[in-house]
């Protein structure tokens, strides 16, 4: 919920996002109006991307902080619409088993 702008820095896609709205939060935590998130997407090989996000908000945190993960290719991965669970048997099974557990 900011104003994202992307550019290439060599083989890395860099997305800088300032001007976040007051309707957003970072992992449930409020932020100030000077929050900037810089994301980097770098292909490390044919089957993996390195993703890095630097969160900078000097009015909320003492120093910028970074989160990073390697994203591996999975040709069997399926993405489902949030509101629709047709064919998403794993999610349905997990939700129902959790509800049954709570009922005990």
Ranges of each domain in the chain: 5-75
Q: What is the pLDDT of residues 48-95, one digit of tens each?
A: 999 999 999 999 999 999 999 999 999 998 876 666 556 666 767 777
SS (H, E, C) the chain: CCCCEEEEECCEEEEEECCCCCCCCECCECCCCCCEEEEEEEEEECCEEEEEEEEECCCCCCCCEEEEEEEECCCCCCCCCCCCCCCCHHHHHHHHHHHHHHHC
For the cut 70, the answer to whether the pLDDT of residue 5 exceeds it is yes
> Is this structure's pTM higher than 0.75?
no
Question: For the chain, what percent of residues have pLDDT higher than 70?
Answer: 88
């Amino acid at each position: 919920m900011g104003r994202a702008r992307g550019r290439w820095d060599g083989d890395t896609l860099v997305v800088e996002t300032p001007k976040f709205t007051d309707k957003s939060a970072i992992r449930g935590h409020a932020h100030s109006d000077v929050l900037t998130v810089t994301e980097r997407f770098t292909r490390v090989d044919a089957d993996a991307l390195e993703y890095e996000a630097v969160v900078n908000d000097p009015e909320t945190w003492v120093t910028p902080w970074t989160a990073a993960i390697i994203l591996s290719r999975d040709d069997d991965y399926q993405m489902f619409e949030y509101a629709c669970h047709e064919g998403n048997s794993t999610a349905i099974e997990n939700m129902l088993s959790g509800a049954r557990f709570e009922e005990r």
